[in-house]
């Protein structure tokens, strides 16, 4: 086949397109877990950038509303799935059988949520996840509610209060033999504040390269067409697939955000 007077190896181009398509469909399964009633469902909605009242939102409530594993795709990335897990330590999901009951092996990374100090069950989860060689993140939610309560005090300082929250969380983890672990302070209703962006950036940074490539391709799916592949093929035929992705990044960096999860 000729494009602008030059021969194009159609089978090679087709294989490149096929490889890119396969890469773009790599799933990312994120488990959101923790104790019962810790705001896991609201967090899932916040991370997906939707309101709790949205038709596609995870159900929320004062009591534990998650009684089985429920999957919720990210609206911008259909292959990014957030799994809202039931609270650990309930009658139906006792700590001793929790990992097996929720099918922990299928998840790529884990977010463990608490509204106060992290518990022994949280620590056990983290240790088991670590044994599997997977990433986990501790999140302390409802920061805004606790800050509002503390504001009534005469000597209130938001900075000192946030530092105390973080210190208490780290201390509770150390009590359960979890050392040097970062804790993210978040509000599910004010995602521009506190550590929500930091959590997003940290997860992005920690993703394996093939998952970063998959997410980036989903961002570029509109602009990456066969015509573009054919045009670039003559110069980059010998490049590996990741090299080609790098070309796409440079070519579209003015139009494509560097964030893999543009939540805000």
Contacts of residue 39, defined as CB under 8 A and 6 or more positions apart, other chains included, come to 60, 113, 115, 141, 142, 188
Indicate whether this model's pTM tops 0.85.
Answer: no
Q: How many CB atoms lie within 10 A of CB 126?
A: 21
> What is d(CA 124, CA 98) in angstroms, rounded to the nearest whole number?
10
Q: What are phi and psi of 75, to 5 degrees?
A: -60, -30
CB-based contact 140:166 (threshold 8 Å): yes
pLDDT per residue as tens, the chain (264 positions):
555 555 555 566 566 566 556 655 678 999 999 888 888 999 999 999 998 899 889 888 756 656 789 999 998 888 899 999 988 888 888 888 888 889 988 999 999 999 988 999 999 889 988 988 999 999 999 999 999 999 988 889 999 999 999 999 999 999 999 987 899 999 999 999 999 999 999 998 998 887 887 777 766 653 444 445 445 455 454 454 555 555 454 444 444 444 545 543
Sheet containing strand 80-84, edge to edge, reads 70-73, 80-84, 28-34, 109-114, 135-140, 183-185
Q: Measured between alpha carbons, how far is residue 143 from residues 38, 140, 146, 149, 183 in Å?
A: 12, 7, 5, 10, 12
Q: What are phi and psi of 3, to 5 degrees?
A: -130, 115
């Amino acid at each position: 086949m000729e494009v602008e007077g030059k021969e194009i190896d159609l089978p090679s181009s087709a294989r490149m397109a096929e490889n890119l398509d396969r890469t773009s469909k790599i799933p990312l399964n994120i488990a959101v877990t923790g104790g019962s009633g810790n705001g896991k469902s609201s967090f899932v909605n916040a991370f997906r950038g939707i309101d709790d009242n949205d038709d596609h939102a995870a159900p929320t409530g004062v009591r534990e509303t998650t009684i089985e594993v429920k999957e919720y795709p990210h609206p911008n990335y259909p292959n990014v799935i957030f799994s809202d897990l039931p609270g650990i330590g309930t009658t139906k999901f006792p700590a001793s059988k929790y990992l097996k009951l929720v099918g922990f092996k299928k998840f790529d990374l884990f977010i463990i949520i608490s509204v106060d100090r992290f518990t022994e069950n949280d620590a056990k989860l983290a240790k088991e996840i670590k044994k599997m060689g997977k990433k986990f993140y501790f999140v302390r939610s409802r920061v805004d509610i606790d800050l509002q309560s503390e504001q009534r005090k005469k000597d209130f300082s938001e900075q000192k209060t946030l530092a105390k929250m973080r210190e208490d969380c780290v201390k509770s983890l150390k009590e359960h033999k979890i050392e040097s672990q970062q804790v993210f302070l978040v509000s599910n209703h004010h995602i521009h504040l506190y550590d929500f962006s930091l959590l997003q950036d940290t997860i992005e940074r920690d993703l394996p390269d093939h998952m970063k490539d998959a997410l980036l391709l989903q961002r570029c799916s509109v602009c990456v067409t066969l015509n573009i592949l054919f045009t670039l093929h003559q110069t980059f035929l010998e490049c590996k697939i990741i090299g080609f992705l790098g070309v796409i990044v440079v070519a579209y960096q003015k139009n494509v955000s560097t964030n893999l999860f543009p939540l805000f």
